[in-house]
Structure 1
């Protein structure tokens, strides 16, 4: 997306640093992870709290002047008051360190009634949910403009009501929004980047989109992303954005990881492999590399996808549980002991050469399978059989749905699932490349 770059506003007296975070989702519940043996569930459950602690430590260590949290501090209704008390204690540490905090309610915060009853420590300001509100930091010549969510469903652009910038000051807009819309997130307070640029602010601190995104170079429009990845689709470094302002201009934008565990999707190319020992060596090497990339004492939680054409295909499919056990054993022997969320077998058999031992019946089955997969109506028929389920899925918030449910809602998944079923049937019937 090509966006205009406006001229930066000059504020000769303004030099400071602030942190921009969003989507903390404190105590977010696990979804579907109990299905996978060997995962350190308690450590995963506590990850959002660890990331919050890291955010507080980062703010104190970098001596920032203030922290902005652009929505979704929580994850909806709490199981108990401990969630709110943990947040209050964390924010209290910032106040004790002389760091001001400005928070805005997002769609998940609006859904939580308990969070509204927890008193905030003095020095923590919360934006109004009834109309845009401006907080002025006179000593820094900074004005923060924002409005939180009063209800979870906000389908209109909130920015037209935001006030004009304070002349001669550094102006920050705070907003929880889907911006132009992203398939992985529901639409909330939609707006266009061009509209935000036209507002005349120096920086837009956004929340809601869990991937880090940055638009423009003066003013900047920034999604810091989720503070701690909560499942495999929130992989890679997660954290907050440190903004350094020198003489009224943004000098640096630095992404600072705060996550205590890191999710990783690791592809293992099995093409041409003929022995399981070669496969185990490849898995060990890839896991060790990913652990090094995670850095520090972070826990790596990995999903391995085995792909490529290999004569091991049938053997892997027939003993899928044994493959997972082998991967778990390999992980236990590595420094850092990475956790394994899932092992997907998406290998294919090598090109088939008919052997003398292959029966005419097997050849007929293979021909029928090939014919079925070539028929585009087959995929549609499969989808229509599950239409009631798909309609139900499409009517609910799928942001945090288990991955298997998300897959059912994607049309392109059906062709893949049918192909996977074909490979599995091949393995059962002994129609494999290594029969040749």
Structure 2
């Protein structure tokens, strides 16, 4: 029997969509709760695909939040998974370490939040033993590599590691828990479920190392379609990777070539037709251009 899970990170639940265009009240109302809708889509996907687990690789929250509305919403979604016998494995990232909800929220027993000391959870998955390894940020800063703190891979098992890391660094992201992709490939883990960098990347190599990006962009600098990863551990131990769309609102910069146009009506028509073509190509529910 295959073992299946969804891997996501950097949901930043109830983070405001920061684009200046959202000063438009109607637009703000339309997509203002997009991070919530993205989480609902993730839970829906877990239920539809009948997965065994949801892995959240940090920054579920968005800093020092105190809203109990956020807490109640999250608890409701986790309860949906609990009632479907789907386990949740979550680590705290740098933003989670700031959140008061992290300390105060009571979640169903099927939700495992890894502590600031390395832990591993062993699961019986038919033909395989699956071991989930995790380590949370104890503080908002993690200037040194966390990789040496993880427990070693369990021989004969499928080992899955969850880590919140900036890897070797990325533009626009501070250095957190730095390590190299090569070190992750050499760790003996079959799959690394990463979080922190908001752009999706599949780091090819001996093992499977995936940064899923965020499931919902929040401004024009987080443009494009956003997604999660659906992973199937086959009976022979091989992994099947699928990218699944989750973004409700998709931000995009659109270039319009107006060279050669001299009439205002032609200009307006050309801009309109360009936007219409882009909207047709957009798979997310809404396009913020």
So what's the TM-score if we normalise by structure 2? 0.94
Q: Distance in 2 between matches of 1:174 and 1:35?
A: 34
Once the two structures are TM-superposed, the CA of residue 102 in structure 1 deviates from its matched residue by 0.3
Q: Residues 250 and 211 of structure 1: is their aligned pair in 2 closer, same or farther, counting only changes over 3 Å?
A: farther
Determine the C-alpha separation between the residues in 1 that align with 2:266 and 2:237. Answer: 54
Match of residue 209, structure 2, among 212, 221, 227 = 221
| Distance in 1, Cα, partners of 2:35 & 2:203 | 27
1:28 aligns with 2:15: yes
Counterpart of 1:163?
Answer: 151
Matched, 1:97 2:93: no
Distance 1:294 1:99 in 2: 31
Structure 2 residue 94 is the aligned partner of structure 1 residue 107: yes
On the 8 A contact 2:115/2:136 being kept in 1, the answer is yes
Whether 2:223 is the aligned partner of 1:243: answer no
What does 1:273-352 align with in structure 2 at a 5 Å threshold?
273-295=261-283, 298-302=285-289
Gaps of 5+ in 1: 1-13, 303-436
CA distance in 1, matches of 2:22, 2:14: 19
Report if aligned partners of 1:144, 1:173 keep a CA contact under 8 Å in 2. yes
Residue number in structure 2 paired with 1:134 = 120
1:182 aligns to 2:170 (yes or no) = yes
Gapped regions of structure 2 (runs ≥ 5): none
Q: Which has the higher contact order (CA 8 A, sep 6+)?
A: 2
Shift of 1:195: 1.1
The superposition leaves residues 332-374 of structure 1 with CA deviations (integer Å, 9 ceiling, x where unpaired) of xxxxxxxxxxxxxxxxxxxxxxxxxxxxxxxxxxxxxxxxxxx
Whole-angstrom distance in 1 between the partners of 2:120 and 2:65:
29
Structure 2 partner of 1:44:
31
Equivalent residue in structure 2 for 1:210, among 182, 198, 210: 198
Q: Specify whether residues 265 and 249 from structure 1 end up closer, same or farther in structure 2 by C-alpha distance, changes over 3 A only.
A: farther
* Partner residue of 1:70 out of 57, 67, 85: 57
Partner SS state of residue 252, structure 2: strand
2-structure distance, mates of 1:133, 1:251: 23
Task: Give the secondary-structure state (helix, strand or coil) at the position aligned to 2:18.
Answer: coil
Distance 1:248 1:127, change over 3 A: farther
Question: Which residue number corresponds to residue 150 of structure 1?
Answer: 138
1 CA distance for matches of 2:65 and 2:258? 44
Counterpart CA distance in 1 for 2:8 and 2:283 is 21
Query: How far, CA to CA, are the matches of 1:47 and 1:35 in structure 2?
Result: 12
User: Whole-Å Cα distance in 2 between the matches of residues 23 and 164 of structure 1?
Assistant: 26
Deviation at 1:37, TM superposition (A): 3.8
The number of residues matched between the two structures is 287
CA contact (8 A) 2:18 2:218 kept: no
Map 1:254-265 → 2, pairs under 5 A: 254-265=242-253
Alignment-derived partner of residue 392 in structure 1: none
By how many angstroms is 1:93 displaced?
0.4
Find the residue that maps to 2:254 and give its secondary structure.
strand
Once the 2 structures are TM-superposed, how far is the Cα of residue 34 of structure 1 from its aligned partner?
6.4
Supply the distance in 2 between the matched residues of 1:98 and 1:175 (Cα, whole angstroms). 24
How far apart in 1 are the matches of 2:26 and 2:17? 12
Measured on the aligned residues, the alpha-carbon RMSD in Å equals 1.6
Are the structure 2 counterparts of residues 181 and 275 from structure 1 closer, same or farther at C-alpha, using a change threshold of 3 Å? same
8 Å contact from structure 2 (residues 57, 162) kept in 1: yes
Alpha-carbon shift at residue 114 of structure 1 (Å) = 2.7
Offset, 1:36: 4.3
Per-residue displacement from partner, 1:163-193 (whole Å, max 9, x unpaired)?
1111111101100000010012111101011
Higher normalized helix content (fraction of residues): 1
